[in-house]
Amino acid sequence: MATPSKAARTARSPGPSAAITSRDNRWLKEFRLALRGGLPTESGFVGVEGVRMVEEALRSACPIEAVLFSESGERHHERLAPLIDRPEIAIPILRTTDRLFEGVADTEHPQGVAALVRPRACSFDDLLRVSEGVCSPLLVVLAGVQDPGNVGTILRTASAFGATGAVTAASGQSGTASPFSPKALRASAGAALHLPVLAGMSLPILLTQLRIANVRTLASCVHESADGGKPLLAPWEVDWCEPVALLVGNEGAGLPEEVERSADARIRIPMASGVESLNAAAAAAVLFYEAARQRKSLATGGARP
C-alpha cells in the first residue's frame, strides 16, 4: 500500500472549497514538471495520470506526494476513496479546474486525476531476492532501448510472465528511456511501480556483478555473429529455471557485439523465412512466455528442460 512522503504528511492541502486556481501554484508546477515535462521533481517524485494508473500507484509500496483531481475528475474519487480517504494515509488531496489540469496533463484527453509518486529504491541485491515459491531470479536488462513505449511494454510483459526484477542501462551511444517517464509508465500499466527496477546502471559493471552472483546472462540477437561467436540458442534450449538475466538491446541496432560476446549465451527466436526480426517488445514477450512455461512446469513438479 502506498505511503505518503514526509513532505506530504506535513503539507496543508486545499479542501473541496479551496481549489487551486492559479497556474503558478507550486503544486501545479510540480505536476506540470512530472507529467508534461516528464522529469522527476526536486524530491524525486514522478507523475502518473489517469484513474487506473493512480490506482496502481496507490496500491504499490511507493510513497505518494499528492493526488490531484480536476472538476470533471471528481467522478473518480469514489473509486479511489478506499485508498486515499483513510486517516492513517493522510495524502494531500488537491483540486483544480479542468482548464488548469489540462495544462499539466501529458495526455490529449485527460481523465482528470493524477498523482506524484516516488519509485521505490532498488539495489542490485534487491534484484536477487525472490519470494517464497519462486525458483530463481529472472531479470530483464534493457540496454539502449530508446522508445519509452517499448520500455514500458517490455516491463509489463516481463512482469506478467514472472520476471522478478529489471535493470535499465545505456548501451554504446544509446541510452535507455526512463522507465518512470509518463509514457513508459502508461505502457507498463503500472508494472514499473511494482517490479523492482534498478535504473541507470552501468552496463559493464552490471555484467560483472551478474557474473559474480552466478546469474546467467542471455544476449537476445537478431542475426548470426559476424565473427562466428557463441552459437545461437532457441528459447526452449535455455534453462529458464536457473538464475537468468535477459539482455534486450536497441530497437534498431540491437546489442553491441562486445556485449553479445561477454554474455554467457546468445538467444534468438526462430522465425519464418523472409521475416528479419520482431521488435524489442514482441521478442521479449515470446522469450518470457517460454520462461514462464518452464518455471510453471517446475513448480508443478515437471522436469527441467
Question: In terms of residues, how long is the chain?
Answer: 305
Whether the Cβ atoms of residue 64 and residue 115 lie closer than 8 Å to each other: yes
Give which of 32, 230, 46, 231 is closest to 120, Cα–Cα.
Answer: 46
Domain ranges in the chain are: 3-117, 124-299
Q: Which of 131-140, 156-165, 208-217 has the lowest mean pLDDT?
A: 131-140
Identify the residue with better confidence: 43 or 303: 43
Task: Write out pLDDT tens, residues 252-305.
Answer: 778 888 888 889 999 988 877 666 667 888 889 999 999 999 998 766 655 555
**What is the band of 242 on the pLDDT scale with cuts at 50, 70, 90?**
very high
Residues 6+ apart with CB under 8 A from 154: 140, 142, 145, 248, 280, 281, 284
Max mean pLDDT among 8-17, 83-92, 224-233 falls in 83-92
CATH code given to domain 124-299 = 3.40.1280.10
Task: Write out pLDDT tens, residues 141-182.
Answer: 999 899 999 999 999 999 999 999 999 998 776 788 999 999
Helix (H, G, I), strand (E, B), or coil: what is residue 116?
strand
**What is the band of 224 on the pLDDT scale with cuts at 50, 70, 90?**
low
pLDDT at residue 9, as a whole number: 42
Q: Which of 24-28, 110-114, 168-172, 262-266 has the lowest mean pLDDT?
A: 168-172
User: Which CATH architecture is the domain 3-117 placed in?
Assistant: 2-Layer Sandwich (3.30)
Instruction: Decide if pLDDT at 96 tops 50.
Output: yes
Whether the Cβ atoms of residue 221 and residue 143 lie closer than 8 Å to each other: no
Whether the Cβ atoms of residue 67 and residue 45 lie closer than 8 Å to each other: no
Give which of 20, 32, 173, 13 is closest to 91, Cα–Cα.
Answer: 13
Whether the Cβ atoms of residue 194 and residue 158 lie closer than 8 Å to each other: no
Percent share of the chain, pLDDT over 90: 63
Whether the Cβ atoms of residue 20 and residue 94 lie closer than 8 Å to each other: yes
Please give the model's pTM, rounded to 2 decimal places: 0.85
Whether the Cβ atoms of residue 48 and residue 63 lie closer than 8 Å to each other: no
Pairing of strands 113-117, 46-49: antiparallel
Mean pLDDT of all residues in the chain? 87
Residues 6+ apart with CB under 8 A from 131: 164
Whether the Cβ atoms of residue 196 and residue 131 lie closer than 8 Å to each other: no
